Structure 1
Amino acid sequence: MKLIIREAKIIDTKSPFHNQTVDILIADGFIKKIGSKLANPDGFEEITQDNLHISQGWFDSSVSLGEPGFEDRETIANGLKVAAKSGFTGIALQPNSFPVIDNQSQVLFVKNKALQSATELFPIGALTKGSEGKDMAELFDMKNAGAVAFGDYNKSQANANMLKIALQYVQDFDGLVIAYPQDEMIKGHGVVNEGIVSTRLGLKGIPNLAEELQIARNLFLLEYTGGKLHIPTISTAKSVALISEAKAKGLAVTCSVSVHHLVLTDQKLEQFDTRYKVTPPLRTETDRKALLEGVNNGTIDMITSDHNPIDIEHKKMEFDAAKDGTIGLESAFAALMTVLPLETVINKLTAGKNIFKIESNTIQEGSKANLSLFNPEGEVVFTKKSIVSKSLNSAFLGLTLKGKAYGIINQEQIILA
């Protein structure tokens, strides 16, 4: 691969070229030269786009696909193409396939499926066998096979002792435990946020307490055991406060928030549209604002699309019976640009690499060409034509978003939307 990117504004606070508009010459997968109006005597391919901006490659810390077992929802090959066209050079794959990714062979299977893709796949191994919460999975073997963290997707660990042992065990190889924060007994049969909207609609509510109680317990365990804990997709103001207090104590805790919790609230439920049935549930405007503040002040470490394709048979049905989840890769960048400044968006879409111990490449001469290409300006209505995923369960359909992801350059490949 030999190419020149023309007139691209670099957004990379660690780069000496931050906020500069330059040309970038790339050859054999590396950035060879950065400068103004670079010559092209050898006839390299040239890339030009309207208002072109580039940054370090984006990383999504929570992506569900379907393969193996649920290929009707999404395959690994198409899911990685979706990620690439959405601007992501790397994704952490959740283990919620069939069978669950809970052993070395399953980790190797999904990694091998992704070998030829421009977007790199980093498997998350299940914390417990079958993600059933009973017996610990083969964590060390999965780590050796390439798993970057361990957690049971959208399943909280009811057994506090199991989480305690896991946090102690992974310290031998500097592993990362992911603990989804939801007390299932407090949640009960709830399907949406408990509040004015749920009461008016007659839907069973999930109180904020279900999340906050679990976070408080898990932080107590972390304080006792040491180790590293990641709390994914927090959704309440009190959750932000609890994690902020834990960080002030010096605990090794990180957290993420999903794009849809930063942009949408439970007011979207008025039409009983199951595209807005997600877990954790969409909360109130007060919570949304607190999450945005948590992003801006650094309490929340990263933002995820929490991309979760669901087939129409399990989504377009009565609200109580529909599966939770929304796709989010295609809309992630443009949705975030409606609520956050550009540098913050880029920072939170790349920060996960350090937490998951994935190589980060500053934009400078000699670095690996691991780049996301985008335009942060311009309004666009998100429609089904914008979706590359096999499933269409997007919570952002019909919304006016800002900006556009052009694609990526990674693994000596160029993928443009």
Structure 2
Amino acid sequence: MKILLRSARIIAPSSPYHQKKADIFIENGIIKEIGASLKVKDPDREIVLKDLHVSVGWFDSSVTFGEPGYEERETIKNGLDTAALSGFTAIALNPCTNPVIDDNGTVTSILSKAQGHPVNMHPIGALTRNSQGKDLADLYDMSQAGAIAFGDHKQAVMNSNLLKLALQYVQNFGGLVQSFPQDNNIAGKGVINEDENSTRLGLRGIAPLAEEMQIARDLSLLEYTGGKLHIPTISTSGAVKLIKEAKKKGLDVSCSVAIHNLIFSDDVLMEFDTNAKVLPPLRNKKTLKKLQAGLKEGTIDMVTTDHTPIDIEHKKVEFEQALYGTIGLESAFGALLNITSLEETIDYLTRGRSRFGLPVPEIAKGEKANLSLFTPKGKQIFTQENIFSSSRNSLFLEHELTGKVYGIISGNNILIKE
């Protein structure tokens, strides 16, 4: 198959074509030529899009679907289509399915459901059996089947010795352990950030201390054991400080931040919108600035949409009863572009692959096509019409976003909206 992209501005700092407009010719999934006004005989697909920009394909380190077990929230097929139309060529899938992804067979089954799709789906295996925090799951067997990391999604590992054993065990095969940053004993039955707004709303709060105590413990264990640790979705300024200090010590630790925790403060909770009930919770405006600074300086390694589809039956209920989570794939690019430059936005959306042991694509002749297509121009209000997910629980509804995503080209596959 011959694909010809016309007049695309390339955003790829490592490429000699960075910030240049060029045609890109792809044949049988491989980039054959990059240059001005390329002449290609009888292309199967010639793509001309308004103010077209391309970058290497985006990666999201924390995505949740529903299948198996919660197909009413999201299927793998529609979830991957959503990722593609949102500009992502690869995602890491959280293990919170039913059954939980905690053994070789489940990893293999999950991967088979994504076979042939343009978006590469990489399962994260549960750290403990059924994510119950009692016994380690079959980590090595899952790694052999294709799991790229191990963690109990949104479930804190409260047993310190269990986390210690996990960090020691995975060193035998270079595995990456994830530990959700929340001390449940401190968090208690809290549902939002513990601050002035939790008092005003009469809702129980989750103190930043709950996150910071857990991270401090995890980093102490990492210093003792060695190994590789990833802390997903941090949300406090204290967390940034702790991780920065750990990196200075030379500890092999990385972390991510959810895009909504960079954009929204807990002020949006004043209407009791359950789409704003997320975990970790939205913090105050001062914390937003600290998180944004931590990302810009590199202490925070990557952003994630922390995409979590929740069906209406579990969102359209009283705030305290609603499940945590917001979808975020569709709004990721436009939301980041509201607060960062274009080059920073692309940088944040393309970080993370190497940490999870995945190959990093390039825009160069001879390389497999792995491209995100978009324009940074224009403003739009994010509405229900912009949602591709089966579930509609978006915190970004009715908010203005910048730019537009067209879709992706991955190998010989094109998935775009024109």
Q: TM-score range by the shorter chain?
A: over 0.9
1:10 aligns to what? 10
**Aligned residue for 1:272?**
272
What's the offset of the Cα at 1:347? 1.2
The corresponding residue for 1:124 is 124
Shift of 1:42: 2.6
**Cα-to-partner distance string for 1:183-208 (whole Å, 9 max, x where unaligned):** 00100010000001111111111000
Partners of 2:335 and 2:401 within 8 A in 1: yes
User: Aligned equivalents of 2:174 and 2:5: distance in 1?
Assistant: 39
Task: Please give the TM-score of this superposition, normalised by the length of structure 1.
Answer: 0.99
Look up the match of 1:336.
Answer: 336
1:354 Cα deviation after fit: 0.7
Residue by residue over 1:291-320, the C-alpha shift from the partner in whole angstroms, topping out at 9 and shown as x without a partner, is 100111011110000000000000110000
Aligned to 1:225: 225
**Residue matched to 2:355:** 355
Instruction: Give a deviation string over 1:233-274, Cα, whole Å, max 9, x none.
Output: 000111111101001111100000011001111000000010
2:162 corresponds in structure 1 to 162
2:287: which partner in 1? 287
Gaps of 5+ in 2: none
Find the aligned partners of 1:411 and 1:71 in 2 and give their Cα distance.
28
How far residue 352 of structure 1 moved from its aligned partner, in angstroms, is 1.0
Determine helix, strand or coil for the equivalent of 2:321.
coil
Question: What SS is found at the alignment partner of 2:117?
Answer: coil
Q: Which moved more, 1:44-53 or 1:259-268?
A: 44-53
Query: 2:272 and 2:211 mapped to 1: Cα distance?
Result: 23
Once the two structures are TM-superposed, the CA of residue 230 in structure 1 deviates from its matched residue by 0.2
Q: Is the 8 A contact 2:28 2:411 kept in 1?
A: no
Distance (whole Å) between structure 2 residues aligned to residue 262 and residue 412 of structure 1? 35
Instruction: Give, in angstroms, the shift of residue 10 of structure 1.
Output: 0.7
Q: Percent identical across equivalent pairs?
A: 55
Q: CA deviation at 1:43?
A: 3.6
Amino acid at match of 1:28: N
1: distance between equivalents of 2:14 and 2:186?
Answer: 44
What residue number does 2:409 align with?
409
Offset, 1:13: 1.1
2:229, 2:173 → 1: CA distance? 14
Report the CA distance between 1:394 and its aligned residue: 0.2
- Report the equivalent of 1:171: 171
- Cα deviation 1:1-59 (Å, max 9, x = unaligned): 21110111111111111111100000011100000010122344211111111111101
> Shift in Å at residue 411 of structure 1?
3.5
Counterpart CA distance in 2 for 1:410 and 1:150 is 26
Write out per-residue CA displacement over residues 395-416 of structure 1, whole angstroms, 9 at most, x where no aligned residue: 0000001011110001311001
Q: Say whether the 8 Å CA contact 2:327–2:394 is kept in structure 1.
A: yes
Cross-structure match for 1:297: 297
Partner residue in 1 for 2:63: 63
CA-CA distance at 1:162 after TM superposition:
0.3
The within-5 A match list for 1:135-146 is 135-146=135-146
Question: Over residues 57-83 of structure 1, what are the superposed CA-to-partner deviations in whole Å (9 max), with x where a residue is unaligned?
Answer: 101000000000000000000000000
Which SS does the other structure have where 2:180 is aligned?
coil
Would you say 1:39 and 2:39 are equivalent positions?
Answer: yes
Aligned to 2:153: 153
Cα contact 2:4–2:43 (8 A) shared by 1: no
Residue 260 (1) aligns with residue 260 (2): yes
Kindly report structure 1 stretches of 4+ aligned residues shifted beyond 4 Å: none
Q: What is the distance in 1 between the residues matched to 2:212 and 2:98? A: 30
8 Å Cα contact 2:2-2:43 kept in structure 1: no
Deviations 1:314-354 (A, max 9, x none): 01100001000000000111111001111111111111111
Cα distance per residue 1:198-235 (max 9 Å; x no partner): 11111111000000000000000000000000000000
1:84 aligned partner, one-letter code:
A
Aligned equivalents of 2:32 and 2:335: distance in 1?
33
C-alpha contact 2:212 2:239 (8 A) present in aligned 1: yes
Whether 1:385 aligns to 2:385 is: yes
Paired with 2:5 and 2:366, the residues of 1 have a C-alpha distance of 16
The residue identity in structure 1 corresponding to 2:298 is: G
**Which amino acid in structure 1 is aligned with residue 45 of structure 2?**
E
Instruction: Name the SS of the counterpart of 2:4 in structure 1.
Output: strand
Structure 1 alignment gaps of length 5 or more = none
The alignment partner of 2:100 has SS state of coil
1:114 corresponds to which letter in structure 2?
A
Cα offset, 1:116, TM superposition: 1.7
